Amino acid sequence: MKSKGTRYLALPYIVWMCGFIVIPLLLVLYYGLTDRSGTFTFDNVRKIMLAENFRPLYLAMGLSAVSTLLCFLIAFPLALILRSRKVGKGSFVAFLFILPMWMNSLLRILAWQTLLERKGVINGILSSLHLPEQHLINTPAAIVLGMVYDFLPFMILPIYNTLIKIDDNTINAAYDLGAGFRETLLRIILPLSVPGIVSGVTMVFVPTLTTFAISNMLGGGKVFLIGNVIEQEFMLNSNWNLGSGLSLILMVFIIMSMALLSRYDNGEDAIL
Amino acid sequence: MVPQTLRGFYELEKALIDLQGITKSFDGEVILDDLNLSILENSFVTLLGPSGCGKTTTLRIIGGFEKPDKGRVFFEGKDITNVPPNKRQLNTVFQKYALFPHMNIADNIAFGLRIKKKPENYIRDKIKYALKLVNLDGYENRSVESLSGGQQQRIAIARAIVNEPRLLLLDEPLGALDLKLRQEMQYELIRLKNELGITFIYVTHDQEEALTMSDYVVVMNQGYIQQAGTPEQIYNEPENAFVADFIGDSNIVPGVMLKDRLVRIFGADFHCVDSGFGENKPVDVVIRPEDVEILPPDDPKGILHGRMSHIIFKGEMYEMECTSSDGFEWLIHSTEMHEPGKEVALYVKPSNIQIMNKPASEDEEAIGVEE
């Protein structure tokens, strides 16, 4: 009786998953592997080999890898500091870092646009100090800045969550056995936080690889990522087939990088 | 009257650890107040007390995980108060074992040796030796979570002793084990201590464990040392009501020391062996339940008279209560059964009566018995 009841409980989720995940994916697969007339073809997928499509993919991988690395380098020490605080204070500091997540991400990127613009806030301050104005916006660096700023909390939270689960005495035991801070960090704390790091990397790498909004707003159309190419095919050229074909390629890259990551994760406490 | 030092006690021998005037408070609450303690090389010393008495804090200060607000820690006469834990010649066995979950048993045990950059074949031999010592030969490649609590505890001990520490600190290491396993591990620890010849400082709230294993017991309460001595001294000659109450069951009754070797309890005069309290001095008297002898009511040896009121069978003996004519309920342990309602006479041998000073000042009152 009970098992029947629980089976029906899952029904809404199954309907949801079919309607909003499986069917759209199948549609992408269909469009990606057909031409406008509906005949089966690999042309759309093969077009990734064209420089105009390949270079944005290459650039997107590079920028999102750099952003992910930067996020990790900022987030890990921060999460360590948060962990070492007593609960009350720590959670307030954690709250400060999570706070930006409650704001629309586009709005936050828009704010950076205002700051970085040629006649923006930063250059305004520089010129009032009689310093040379800097070319800030529409550079890969500006996009990386936006990516790091936007996705940093997604790196901090999972790492912090695994760090607070490490027993104080496990760390004390390492010191007790003669390890200094560096050795304790490398041999105990870092290996034990791998599940959190894997989650964090996933949660930063995937959205930064596919973003088109950040590169639109901070790249000013001059820095073209794979996300922008796909968006353009759908919105501007109305070529759903090519857009879907390139999306499939992107998906393959994401699945490959996830598979690579999962080898480092014993799959216990990871969020994803 | 509250002794706070063992120094006189150990006068002629060499102290391995010497705590001098240790004071520590957390968030304004004083945990340790001017604590002085010397611990002899090669002894098994137990810090015993209820939770919050400061015993774990004392251990953590020796281990280097806490810094005292005031006072110094000496290791063989060398001040190590500011030496970090990784530079101290001692190792700790933590309460919940604290094994490294991402390493197998061999890597756990090897951790300290690898940090010290010992050669791998030396490490391999050491692991083998340590596993044999804790009766877990062949467990090298097992994972931490595949081991039971008792086995994890042994690995934690093995991980500590391969480093050949001078001093091993054990923080309630048997607390999470069930009774049978705990008793086995108690013998194991005594054996290890004798085989290795290292000094053990053991923290527990279990008085039986403390009496069973230790050479010396330090009874603590509310940041003070209440009494320090051999298990026999602690049990047979408690120096105050707290110790008497905490170590085993006891009858603690008010009395008046009439003169040397004579004490009046509830109007009856008992001969005892204590002297030097003065005349007509109010005192506390401790009588262990197994030392109260039950006699027929007309026995001329009987000192107090009463009526049996409760009885519980405890396996190795009966636990009984006898209400004496003044209304006090005496706790009595005996292998002989005496039915409730029976009129009896009570007798206590002079050597089984332990006289203690009443707490004199408010300060000493504060460290007294917890009901």
* B242 within a domain of the structure (yes/no): no
CA pair distance B133, B213, nearest whole angstrom: 18
| Domain edges within chain A | 1-32, 45-262
Does A15 score more than 50 pLDDT? Answer: yes
Biggest distance spanned by C-alpha atoms of chain A = 79
B234 CB-contact burial (10 Å; exposed 0-12 / middle 13-18 / buried 19+): buried
* B371 within a domain of the structure (yes/no): no
Report percent pLDDT > 90 for chain B. 63
CA dihedral B127, B128, B132, B138 (to 10 degrees): 110
Which of B184, B212, B236 lies at the terminal end of a domain, its last residue? B236
* B172 within a domain of the structure (yes/no): yes
A43/B contact by beta carbon, under 8 A: no
B182/A contact by beta carbon, under 8 A: no
A 78-137 residues inside an 8 A Cβ radius of B: none
Identify which of B162, B99, B90, B85 has the alpha carbon closest to the alpha carbon of residue A170: B99
pLDDT greater at residue B178 or residue B40: B40
Identify which of A183, A182, A225, A191 has the alpha carbon closest to the alpha carbon of residue A207: A225
CA pair distance A131, A129, nearest whole angstrom: 5
Report percent pLDDT > 70 for chain A. 93
- The pTM of the full predicted model, rounded to 2 decimals, is 0.80
Q: How confident is the model at residue A230 (pLDDT cuts 50, 70, 90)?
A: very high
pLDDT greater at residue A190 or residue B197: A190
Q: How confident is the model at residue B248 (pLDDT cuts 50, 70, 90)?
A: confident
B175/A contact by beta carbon, under 8 A: no
* B3 within a domain of the structure (yes/no): no
Does B27 score more than 70 pLDDT? Answer: yes
Overall average pLDDT of the A174-180 stretch: 95
- Is residue A147 a contact partner of residue A63, using CB atoms and an 8 Å limit? yes
Does B364 score more than 70 pLDDT? Answer: no
Which residues fall within 8 angstroms of residue A57, CB to CB, at 6 or more apart? A48, A226, A229, A249, A250, A253
CA angle A64, A67, A70 (to 5 degrees): 150
Residue A4 is predicted with a pLDDT of 64
pLDDT, tens only, B83-100: 999 999 999 999 888 999
For residue A180, the distance in angstroms to the closest alpha carbon of chain B comes to 6
* B111 within a domain of the structure (yes/no): yes
Residue B369 is predicted with a pLDDT of 42
Which of B236, B260, B292 lies at the terminal end of a domain, its last residue? B236
Residue A2 is predicted with a pLDDT of 53
Give the closest of A170, A178, A180 to B98, CB-based: A170
Residue B360 is predicted with a pLDDT of 59
Which of B205, B236, B267 lies at the terminal end of a domain, its last residue? B236
* Minimum Cα–Cα distance from A195: chain B residue: B102
B84/A contact by beta carbon, under 8 A: yes
Pair B275, B299 in one domain: yes
Does B292 score more than 90 pLDDT? Answer: yes
- Is residue A214 a contact partner of residue A146, using CB atoms and an 8 Å limit? yes
CATH of the domain at B44: 3.40.50.300
For residue B210, the distance in angstroms to the closest alpha carbon of chain A comes to 24
B27, B102, B127, B143: best to mutate for the A interface, most A CBs within 10 A? B102
Residue B192 is predicted with a pLDDT of 87
pLDDT, tens only, A128-161: 888 888 888 888 999 999 999 999 989 998 999 9
Q: Residue B312, SS3?
A: strand
Does A77 score more than 50 pLDDT? Answer: yes
B98/A contact by beta carbon, under 8 A: yes
Say how many CB pairs under 8 Å bridge A and B.
59
Question: What is the pLDDT of chain A when averaged over all its residues?
Answer: 87
Measured between beta carbons, which residues in chain A are less than 8 angstroms from residue B172?
A: none
Measured between beta carbons, which residues in chain B are less than 8 angstroms from residue A187?
A: 111
Does A272 score more than 80 pLDDT? Answer: no
Overall average pLDDT of the B195-207 stretch: 91
Sign of CA dihedral B331, B337, B342, B344: negative
Pair B210, B145 in one domain: yes
Q: Topology of A45-262 in CATH?
A: MetI-like fold (1.10.3720)
CATH of the domain at B276: 2.40.50.140
Does A30 score more than 60 pLDDT? Answer: yes
Pair B76, B184 in one domain: yes
CA pair distance B367, B48, nearest whole angstrom: 15
Pair B90, B169 in one domain: yes
CB contact (8 A) between residue B98 and residue A183:
no
pLDDT, tens only, B132-178: 988 899 999 999 999 998 899 999 999 999 999 999 999 999 887 88
* Minimum Cα–Cα distance from A191: chain B residue: B102
Between helix A194-210 and helix A51-84 the angle, nearest 10°, is 140
* B220 within a domain of the structure (yes/no): yes
Give the closest of A167, A175, A191 to B85, CB-based: A175
- The whole domain housing B296 covers 250-366
Pair B188, B257 in one domain: no
Residue A104 is predicted with a pLDDT of 85
Pair B232, B254 in one domain: no
A180/B contact by beta carbon, under 8 A: yes
CB contact (8 A) between residue A177 and residue B115:
yes
Give how many domains chain B has, as a whole number.
Answer: 2
Sign of CA dihedral B359, B363, B369, B371: positive
Give the closest of B65, B96, B112 to A177, CB-based: B112
* Range with the poorest average pLDDT among A97-101, A121-125, A162-166, A169-173: A97-101
CB contact (8 A) between residue A176 and residue B100:
no
